[in-house]
Chain A
Amino acid sequence: MSETVRADEELVELLEDFFAREVTPDLVAAAEQSGELPSALWARAEAVQIPWIGIAEEHGGVGGTFADVVALVHHAAYRATPLPLLEHHLAATLLARTGLGHVDGPLTVAGISGHDDVPVVDGAAISGRIPAVPWAADAAAVVLLTRDPHGADVVAVVRRDDLTLEPATDLAGTPVPTVVLTDASVEVGRLDGGAEVFLRYAEVLRCSALAGLLRRLYDLTSSYVSERHQFGKPVGSFQAVQIHTVTLAQAATMSMLSVDRAAGAVALGLGELEVAATSVVVGQNAVRAATAAHQAHGAIGMTREYPLQQLTRRVHAIRQLWGSLTEAEEAVGLAALAAPRLSELVARHPEEGLQSA
């Protein structure tokens, strides 16, 4: 048997239709302008239970596989959806894995990033600052992945009323305030299986969002170069421009496949190498794709009137969201140095992760 990772086809169709219908470039621009969550959009997503895909029914979700969640994040990103769907899913997953129970959304998540020290939780209260928490002003609660004083991985839930915020915005115009906790009351649960498995799960989803953006960059660019005429013909008929669409197709195809393979490994509870390799190639492809898309578009792509920038600014906002590309490269490099043969590491089956673990 060869394992394949495939989202439910009907679900994929629903996701494509929903985001195509509801998330227009105008809506994305308006959300950025207002700096607030488009709550009507969130309500419509809730009405078709999109935020609860991949969360088991016993935890208040609607069930679904990891591949379904990968698809959800991909299709949301494809339209530059200004909702905390990734963050909400990770938060709800942490709640489910710690048995902290269902909390109504939208939720956001903190403590995933390797950039920052997050406050340690001791007892039922917590103090400290957490930078760049997406949509924290509009979320019902912040779900924080942290440690207790003994170093155990724990999850802490802080309700909206128990935190204060210092406003900040990321490159895509998404509000990412600093959360300030002053003796805030928290519910705490222990994360079974440890943070590492969860962080790999989260990383695949971040990469899936990038892959969704890259596929859209390809689609948008290939239709633009077939419509835009210069010198009496479509600019896409020039080989010099075709290089850019080819680069975009390569970036998107490689990224989506890598995400699916990494998701397959993570679904087995494994995927150390697969996820790190995916972070590397998707991160590298993202930059190349953004550059190629802009170059193929020319001046119009530089304007806020045209939607390309909504995508490329998101690429830059999330491409090193939780860690640097160089760190990801080093992680794969260390695995390679430890492996008896490079070629056999590259060719290994995800299950072989069991033996090296």
Chain B
Amino acid sequence: MRLEATELTRTERDLQDEVRSWLDERLPEGSYPLGLGMAGAIDPEFSRDLGARGWLGMSLPVEHGGHGRTAVDRLVVVEALLARGAPVGYHWIGDRQSGPSIAANGTELQKKEILPGIVSGDLSFSIGMSEPDSGSDLASVRTRAERVEGGWVVNGSKIWTTGAFEATHILSLFRTSEDRHTGLTQFIVDRHAPGLTVSPIEFIDGTRDFCELSFVDMFISDDWRLGEVGSGWGQNTGELALERGGVDRWMSAMPLLERWAVRESATSGSRATAELGSIVARCWAFRGMSLAVARMVDDGQSPVTEAALIKEMSTRFEQECLEVMVRHLGRPLRTDADDPYERLLAKAVQVAPSWTIRGGTNEILRSVISKGLRTR
């Protein structure tokens, strides 16, 4: 496997400058809760401000309000946001995957109704995939959508659905027949539809973004079926495949690393300097890989194996970064510490195991990579 070396063009660097300057104004230090990568805070107002700048739904088609820009442009914006630990929670999933999926698979009505809201930052998406008995084995989902006059009636439950409580929509995968893979269909579910109950599940750090969804005779019009009946499996797996190589897979700890570097510059011993160097060198290398994959996407290629290869190692790297910082702190972490750095580190240590689980566990990814490499 070979990735082609690439750097940002002059225009892309201008965009980078523009986003950074805007963030300097919009998110002064201390004015927002620092986030850990894609798990940044939910802040609809910030999302709408980003949308107003044209920095959401960047790659969506212009006729539906999108900006027809490239995957690399989006990488530039996302990288600047994650570097600051920006509150990206409200728009993250819609911007990253639901929007592009609806643009690719949706009807004219769906595109017209949904995409402008993703671009403006008004809509928030969540992904209804896992069920109590279906995690990595996604093809085993059992929540059923039964055909009725004009639509479908859904019964069952989804679990571990991040952000569902605050979301406006949930892109869900339901069983529409008994065929394992071809019996699955995606639907765009209104979060407030009668028959759907969303209950938060307390997360390891005490937050309540994780949710359980219960569907009891929820009616959904056939207008909100995404793609053909039975094509849900392919659409669903395709959605995440290319995003696995994104900068969000190695930047979760970046706001912490920034602050750790500042602390170390005051007291730096040579061991800490070497450890920092090792971390920065790997960030630089991962960024090169993410950028190369984004260029491949813009080039019309489908770097599924490459993206999985990056995610499997860069998420482990994120966890290793934490361990270095924790050791340098050298005492038990406190979530009620006065020091915001320590509070964020304490949160990170708790949530970090999710980094190698969400979006495809490392075990699943190794199978994806091995299969991909064998067929080359």
| Chain A residues engaging chain B, CB cutoff 8 angstroms | 1-6, 222, 226, 236, 239, 242-243, 245-246, 249-250, 252-254, 256-258, 260-261, 263-264, 273-274, 276-281, 284, 326, 328-337, 341-347, 349-350
Contact = CB atoms under 8 A, between A and B. Distances in A.
Interface string B251-288: 10010011001001100101011111110111111111
Interface residues of B, number: 54
Contacts of B282: 280-281, 284
A347 B16 contact: yes
Contact of B281 (A242, A250, A260, A332): A332
B7 A349 contact: yes
Given A257-B3, A261-B7, A249 B369 contact: yes
Contacts of B272: 333
Contacts of B286: 254
Contact of B374 (A3, A226, A252, A284): A226
Given A2-B6, A261-B5, A349-B7, A277 B285 contact: yes
A273 B288 CA distance: 13
Contacts of A261: 5, 7, 288
B325 interface: no
A258 B277 contact: no
Contacts of A326: 274
Contacts of A343: 79, 83, 251, 254, 258, 283
Interface pairs A-B: 5 shortest CB-CB: A333-B277, A332-B277, A343-B83, A280-B281, A333-B273
Contact of A257 (B258, B273, B288): B288
A350 B287 CA distance: 13
Given A276-B281, A343-B83, 5 more contacts: A254-B313, A257-B285, A274-B284, A277-B284, A344-B20
B258 to A, nearest CB: 5
B289 A257 contact: yes
Given A242-B366, A276-B281, A343-B83, A329 B3 contact: no
Nearest to A5: B5
Given A2-B7, A245-B373, A346-B280, A258 B254 contact: no
A281 B366 contact: no
B331 interface: no
B4 A329 contact: no
Given A254-B285, A347-B79, A332 B280 contact: yes
B370 A333 contact: no
Contact of B369 (A246, A256, A277): A246
A337 B5 contact: no
B9 A333 contact: no
Contact of B366 (A239, A276, A336): A239
A253 B277 contact: no
Contacts of A242: 366-367, 369-370
B289 A337 contact: no
